């Protein structure tokens, strides 16, 4: 979906490009906003979520997860720049580049537009590999050539350390200044709310400190990333830090979209099997038993390859290369979703079998309450803790699954940045002598931070929503 607009950031019009995955992340953001608003209508759930955020760990991990989501959202606002006019071109005729940019590219500046010839180490001024160089006097030597962009603003290498120190200080100070302004606005808002809300205050200091650290780090990366290659470059000369940051959108989307595909299937089949029993229970058990018996990796690989063949045979549906990559990405999310619902379905079936035999459910049957009302009022609310806990836990597992699938060659299309593709390329680079280690570090650090934060946050959600945990604590 494309439409043309005039932008204050460019002298020429831009073509806004909306991918299907962009629409889904916008819908996801709206659903989260609606869920937060609905908590005002449900004091019981609001008190449970307040218990999650009443700890410093809960606040800190939530801010980290939220920062990933914000980066993914900003990176989902795509556009294409207008190409320069050529001789003989009509004045009202505009052609657009096939390269798709996002608002994140505007924030990162020129970080992704400064490719080198090949590998370069972090903060290096010269290439990693030796090349044949022609000296001004005509002599040919084999040496490390200087980088075209990394450190090109320096007059000489003697000012290298001083330049890094001064620009690092500038970048960190800018980030802290922006953080202080935003925290100040939040503090003033909290003071207004405190006069209306007498509840126990949350540990906002942990959230503010985490937010300030993230913003200072992000500002430092942008400042230094436009002067040097902070995490070096890959074999094609692309900036590793830029590729790592662009992979955030893929990691967040594949965790959330796949989980949202899994949930309706698991909830519907699990409730039907546990509540209605009989032949419906037998049919559901047969379906997930058959699905479990098939090796999941082979099923996913075969499905992805079949869809890739369909994409190659129908190029008329895709105008640019990124649309093909986006279609393959959505197909991967769908395939992972329809092959990952069996565990949650079995849990919900077992829990529904137990709840449906309780006295108040049997009394509702005796009074002639419809099946739909019983499921909505008595069974589904008692399964909410399992659904929420499974949603949070499955997210981190699916982020790691994308890395595994990309490693074996059936994951995200190489045209779309992803941590799995970076790890796949790094597998051969580590065997070099000397080894290329920085490509792996960029993807690993961001993936590790996201997965660790989600797992720690899920433990707090489990403690707040699982009735067994409350009984053990009592």
- For the domain that residue 311 is a member of, what is the CATH number? 1.10.3720.10
Handedness of CA 155, 159, 162, 165 (dihedral sign): positive
Q: What is the mean pLDDT of the chain?
A: 82
Does a cis peptide bond (omega within 30 degrees of 0) precede residue 434? Answer: yes
Question: Does the residue 6 lie in any domain?
Answer: no
pLDDT band at 332 (very low <50, low <70, confident <90, very high): confident
Percent of the chain with pLDDT over 70: 92
Q: Tell me what pLDDT residue 438 has.
A: 84
Closest CA to 250 of 392, 406, 429, 32: 406
Residue 146's SS3 state is strand
pLDDT of residue 198: 55
State how far the Cα of 60 lies from the Cα of 208, in Å rounded to an integer.
9
Q: Is the pLDDT of residue 469 over 70?
A: no
Does a structural domain hold residue 172?
no
**Packing angle between helix 240-276 and helix 321-338, nearest 10 degrees?**
30
pLDDT band at residue 174 using 50, 70 and 90 as cut-offs: very high
Domain span at 450: 240-473
Residue 1 has pLDDT above 70, yes or no: no
User: Which of 22-31, 227-236, 446-455 has the weakest average pLDDT?
Assistant: 22-31
CB neighbours of residue 441 within 10 Å: 16
- Indicate whether 405 belongs to any domain: yes
Total of domains in the chain: 1
pLDDT exceeds cutoff 70 at 92: no
pLDDT in tens, 176-189: 999 999 999 988 88
Please report whether residue 212 resides in a domain.
no
Residue 83 lies in a domain: no
pLDDT at 194: 64
Mark out the alpha helices in 39-80 (DSSP H runs).
Answer: 43-53, 56-74
**Between residues 466 and 8, the one the model is more confident about:** 466
- What distance in Å separates the CA atoms of residue 100 and residue 97, rounded to the nearest whole number? 8
Name which residue leads in pLDDT, 127 or 215: 215
pLDDT of 168 > 70? The answer is: yes
Task: Record the pTM.
Answer: 0.85
Q: Residue 403 and residue 424: Cα distance in Å, rounded?
A: 8
Torsion of CA 273, 279, 282, 284, to 10 degrees: -50
**2 strand-pairing partners:** 17
Is residue 444 a part of any domain in this protein? yes
Structure confidence by residue, pLDDT tens digits, 356-410: 888 888 888 888 888 888 888 888 878 877 887 787 777 777 777 777 777 777 7
Task: Indicate whether 458 belongs to any domain.
Answer: yes
| pLDDT confidence bin for 292, thresholds 50/70/90 | confident
**Nearest-angstrom CA–CA distance, 201 and 50:** 10
Pair 337, 265: CB distance under 8 Å? yes
Nearest residue to 415 (alpha-carbon basis) of 290, 327, 298: 327
In a domain, 334, yes or no: yes
């Amino acid at each position: 979906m494309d439409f043309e607009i005039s932008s204050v950031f460019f002298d020429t019009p831009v073509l806004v490009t909306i991918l299907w995955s962009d629409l889904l992340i916008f819908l996801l953001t709206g659903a989260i906003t609606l869920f937060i608003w609905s908590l005002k209508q449900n004091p019981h759930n609001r008190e449970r979520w307040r218990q999650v955020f009443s700890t410093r760990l809960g606040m800190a991990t939530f801010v980290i997860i939220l920062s990933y989501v914000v980066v993914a959202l900003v990176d989902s606002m795509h556009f294409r720049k207008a190409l320069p006019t050529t001789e003989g071109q009509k004045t009202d005729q505009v052609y657009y580049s096939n390269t798709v940019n996002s608002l994140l590219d505007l924030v990162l500046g020129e970080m992704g537009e400064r490719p080198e010839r090949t590998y370069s180490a972090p903060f290096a001024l010269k290439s990693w590999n030796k090349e044949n160089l022609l000296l001004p006097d005509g002599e040919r030597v084999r040496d490390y050539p200087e980088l075209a962009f990394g450190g090109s603003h320096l007059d000489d290498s003697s000012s290298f350390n001083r330049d890094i120190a001064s620009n690092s200080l500038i970048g960190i100070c800018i980030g802290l200044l922006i953080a202080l302004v935003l925290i100040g606005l939040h503090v003033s808002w909290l003071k207004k709310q405190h006069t209306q809300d007498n509840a126990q205050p949350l540990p906002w200091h942990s959230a503010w400190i985490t937010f300030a650290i993230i913003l200072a780090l992000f500002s430092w990366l942008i400042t230094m990333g436009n002067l040097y290659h902070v995490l070096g470059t890959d074999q094609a000369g692309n900036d590793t830090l830029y590729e790592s940051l662009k992979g955030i959108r893929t990691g967040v989307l594949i965790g959330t979209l796949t989980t949202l595909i899994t949930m309706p299937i698991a909830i519907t089949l699990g409730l039907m099997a546990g509540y209605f029993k009989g032949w419906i229970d037998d049919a559901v058990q047969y379906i997930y038993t058959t699905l479990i018996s098939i090796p999941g990796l082979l099923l996913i690989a075969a499905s992805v390859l079949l869809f890739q063949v369909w994409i190659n045979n129908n190029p008329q549906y895709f105008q640019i290369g990124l649309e093909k990559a986006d279609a393959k990405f959505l197909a991967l999310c769908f395939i992972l979703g329809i092959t990952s619902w069996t565990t949650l379905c079995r849990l919900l079936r077992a829990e529904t079998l137990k709840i449906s035999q309780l006295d108040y459910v049997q009394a509702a049957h005796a009074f002639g309450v419809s099946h739909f009302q019983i499921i909505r009022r008595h069974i589904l609310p008692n399964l909410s803790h399992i659904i929420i806990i499974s949603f949070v836990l499955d997210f981190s597992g699916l982020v790691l699954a994308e890395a595994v699938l990309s490693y074996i060659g059936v994951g995200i299309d190489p045209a779309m940045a992803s941590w799995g593709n970076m790890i796949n390329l790094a597998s051969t680079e580590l065997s070099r002598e000397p080894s290329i280690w920085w490509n792996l570090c960029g993807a690993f650090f961001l993936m590790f931070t996201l997965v660790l934060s989600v797992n720690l946050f899920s433990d707090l959600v489990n403690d707040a929503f699982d009735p067994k945990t409350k009984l053990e604590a009592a």
